[in-house]
Amino acid sequence: MKKVSNLLFFDYLCRKFTATNKRMKTTEKVEALRCLMQREGISAFITPSTDPHAGEYVPERWKSRRWISGFTGSAGIAVVTLDKAALWTDSRYFIQATEQLAGTGYELMKEKIEGTPTITEWLGDVLTEGSIVAVDGWVNTTAEVEELTNELKAYGLALRTDLDPYAEIWEDRPAIPQSKAFIQGLEYAGESATSKIQRIREKIGHSAIVLSMLEEVAWTLNLRADDVECTPFVLGYVVITPTDTLLYICKEKVTSEVAAYLRGEGVSIRDYNDIIPDLQALDMPVYVQPNKTNYAVYSAIKTPIRKDSPVAHMLIFKNETEIRCFRNAMEKDGVAMVKWMKWTLENVPKGGQTELSLSKKLLAFRAEQPLFKGISFESIMGYAHHGAIVHYDPTPETDIPVKPEGLLLIDSGGQYLDGTTDITRTIPLGPLTWEMRRDYTLVLKGWIRLGSAVFPKGTCGTQLDAFAREAMWKYGINYLHGTGHGVGQFMSVHEGIDLHQFRMQWRPTPLLPGMIITDEPGIYIEGSHGVRHEDTMLVVNADFSGEHGKANMPGGKPYDGDEAQGITFGPYYTFEHLTLCPILTSPILVEMLTEEERQWFNNYQQTVYDRLSPRLDEEHKAWLKEKTKAI
């Protein structure tokens, strides 16, 4: 009878908490979760910061970790037991998490700090052997679940994967995004969905494949939507078999135009929730990525083929149409940046400007450009000491006045129907210290050396990464983030993050023509300033038509030449800078540049003027002419 009474009591508590859901405090939300855990017989529940599609940006419906903890940072994992709660996050959020977790009962676990236990170590210490830990298999990848299962076994703990408590205790939980899907036309995509599907079938043979990554769904079907912040993705899955292509999507999202388009491309529409029963009924091997596919979907597959998706490799190579569109989008974005830079330099000395006001002004200039659809990520507008915070995102609480002195770091980007942009410039606003000018120049040297590199086929980003760091290393300076990442074509600003990158850690994917990658070294002096220069670049064939057979550097000039073998062991490649925006020259210590670096820089600046000036009025054209004068 005691057990029955406890269950009735916990049912009463659950009803009570649900009835007052909209005004629940974090402590009350945790108690609601615990009453459900007690009813289900589990001792701990783990809530990550992810969604069913392992995306970079998480739709509101799946921001469960934020809801259950009150911590609003983008990265973190909340773990709740029947009498304890803890949250793990990285160093970017230690201060924020400390403030937001105060009074909630959560203990902050600082990742990668000596003495901080892992989640499984902590659970092994606070739970008794035989206890059950639960996760929602829909928002944890297969690789994560398998790793967690094995780690828990070492402590005598079991894992349950079929529980979503937030479906019950989060009463006003946002719905699955319902924005209307729209077609990315051939004038931007350059290849039909039918053609892409056929190429995928050639890769998988007589098997099937499930695409759960939203960038793969968007690219394969030339379909976009506004379901995800900053990325024009449509929420759905795609299953391709030797004979059928199935799109799993909330049917309310599909207009008559999109339905007719999909039929014409040989794609059948299924309800978003039909993915599990349909996979269970599929009697053939299925390609699936354990590190990208959620455990619920993976578990429905009878015969999984555990391999990287061929689509992930296919989409990183841009076709001629996409490259042409990228160039056009970069010119428009460059115009917006030039207008913003001129306005900022003229208005900051007048007073009244802050990080947020300058960010809003940049958005307004971008919004003037044709085919603009939104930002590609939240702008990093870091003035003075905020510039030293690599991923600083100004908020009303952190916003500070911008003064006519020191450095302003702006890392931002736009989404246009014809391309995605990502650019960083560091703006001198007035008097600078010698150290600021030194760092500005060292970063510029690294940006030039990497951005002008010529390299043989087979070279990967890791092998080139030191080009960006070598000059600053000689001064005992380094940075800890990667130097470059892929960029999608009206898709994610961070594309192929497991593939082509400039990074000190090993990334074996070779850089080949058609790939897009950024070049963004930086120096960050805590409490003082930050400097970063960033361009988005296209890998192109090298051109050895220079004097004595030396390679010409395209810089920002479009180059579509044929493959160049060089003298030995070719072919060789280099980079075309797609980004077109001046780098302000007043902070540069010119004596620190080599003659070759100076010439390359002047050529780039001239190309910026040549490409952007036809799009500018006389006032902005004159300003740009002055800012791109040779040094």
| The pLDDT value given to residue 545 | 85
| The pLDDT value given to residue 549 | 76
d(CA 233, CA 495): 13
| The pLDDT value given to residue 550 | 81
Q: What single-letter amino acid sits at 500?
A: H
The per-residue DSSP string of 346-372 comes to: HHGGGS--BHHHHHHHHHHHHHTSTTE
| The pLDDT value given to residue 12 | 44
CA angle 430-556-497, nearest 5°? 90
Q: How many CB atoms neighbour CB 440 within 10 A?
A: 26
437: Cβ–Cβ under 8 A, 6 or more apart, which residues? 587, 588, 589
Pairing of β 237-240 and β 223-224: unpaired
- Alpha carbon separation from 466 to 219, 461, 472, 520 (Å, rounded): 32, 9, 10, 12
Strands (E), 250-349: 267-271, 286-288, 304-306
Strand partners, 456: 572
Q: How many CB atoms neighbour CB 460 within 10 A?
A: 19
Residues 355 and 382 sit within 8 Å (Cβ to Cβ):
yes
| Whether the predicted model's global pTM rises above the 0.85 cut | yes
Q: How many CB atoms neighbour CB 327 within 10 A?
A: 18
| The pLDDT value given to residue 8 | 43
d(CA 77, CA 150): 19
* Nearest CA-CA partner of 567 in 536, 599, 539, 544: 544
In the predicted model, residues of the chain with pLDDT beneath 70 are 1-22, 555-556
Strands (E), 155-285: 158-160, 182-183, 208-211, 223-224, 237-240, 245-249, 267-271
| Count helices and strands in the chain by DSSP H and E runs | 20, 26
Residues 124 and 32 sit within 8 Å (Cβ to Cβ):
no
Unique residue bearing structure tokens 């010698």: 434
Ordered structural domains, the chain, with CATH:
2-169 (3.40.350.10), 182-314 (3.40.350.10), 320-627 (3.90.230.10)
d(CA 591, CA 437): 12
Phi, psi of 515 (to 5 degrees): -80, 145
| The pLDDT value given to residue 6 | 45
Residues 135 and 45 sit within 8 Å (Cβ to Cβ):
yes
| The pLDDT value given to residue 477 | 97
The SS3 assignment for 594 reads: coil
| The pLDDT value given to residue 22 | 56
Quick one: 557 exposed, middle or buried, by C-beta within 10 A (0-12, 13-18, 19+)? middle
Cis status, amide bond into 554, omega within 30 of 0: no
CA angle 422-427-431, nearest 5°? 165
CA angle 361-556-561, nearest 5°? 145
DSSP letter (8 states) at residue 61: G
| The pLDDT value given to residue 5 | 39
